[in-house]
Amino acid sequence: MEIATFMKISTTHKEFSDRLNDQTALEYPEHFLGPNWKDVLNFWIYLDTLSVEDFRLIINRFWDVCADARVSARDKAFKAAEATIGNDYTNMALSAAAAADGPAGSSYATLDLIGSHKLESLKFLPLFLTK
C-alpha cells in the first residue's frame, strides 16, 4: 500500500523547482537543499504568510545593517551554502527566493539556513523573527 504525503508548496519552493526545471525538487527537496532542507522549506512557507507591512519592517531592518556587514554576512552565507549543496543549487535557491517576491534579505536568509550547520551565527534570518 502506498501512502500519499501532502506537503504545502511555497511560492519560493515552486520557483526553485521551475528554475531547476526539475519537478523532483518538489518531491525530494532534501536532494537539492541539503541537510537543513526542512528549515528552508518552513522559512519559504513563512515568507508566503508575510503581509506588506511585515515586508516593510523587514526591508527596513535589512537596510539598517551596515553595508560592509551585509556584504560580509552574504559572502559567508553563500560560501556555507555552496559548501553544502554546490554552486548551481546555491545560485538557484538564491535567485528563487529573490524572484518569489520575498523582502530584501529573504534570499540571504535562505542561504543562512542552507549552510547554518557551517556558520557561527545566522545574520539574515533574525531580520525575519520578530514582527
Q: Write down the residue that cell numbers 559548501 correspond to.
A: 83
With a cut of 50, say whether residue 116 has pLDDT above it.
Answer: yes
Q: Write down the residue that cell numbers 560580509 correspond to.
A: 72
pLDDT at residue 131, rounded to an integer = 59
Q: Write down the residue that cell numbers 556555507 correspond to.
A: 80
pLDDT at residue 119, rounded to an integer = 97
* Per-residue confidence band for 129, with pLDDT thresholds at 50, 70 and 90: confident
pLDDT at residue 101, rounded to an integer = 66
Torsion angle defined by CA atoms of residues 70, 86, 45 and 7, in that order, rounded to the nearest 10 degrees: -170
Distance, in Å, from the CA atom of 36 to the CA atom of 128, rounded to the nearest integer, reads 18
Q: 37-58 pLDDT, tens per residue?
A: 999 999 999 999 999 899 899 9
With a cut of 50, say whether residue 93 has pLDDT above it.
Answer: yes
With a cut of 70, say whether residue 5 has pLDDT above it.
Answer: no
* Per-residue confidence band for 3, with pLDDT thresholds at 50, 70 and 90: very low
User: Quick one: which of 73, 65, 62 has its CA closest to 119?
Assistant: 73
List phi, psi (to 5°) of 129.
Answer: -85, -20
Phi-psi region of 105 (alpha: psi -120 to 50; beta: other; left: phi over 0): left
Q: 55-91 pLDDT, tens per residue?
A: 899 999 999 999 999 999 999 999 999 999 999 999 9
For all residues of the chain together, what is the average pLDDT? 90
pLDDT at residue 118, rounded to an integer = 97
Amino acid symbol at 25: A
Instruction: Tell me the domain boundaries of the chain.
Output: 37-128
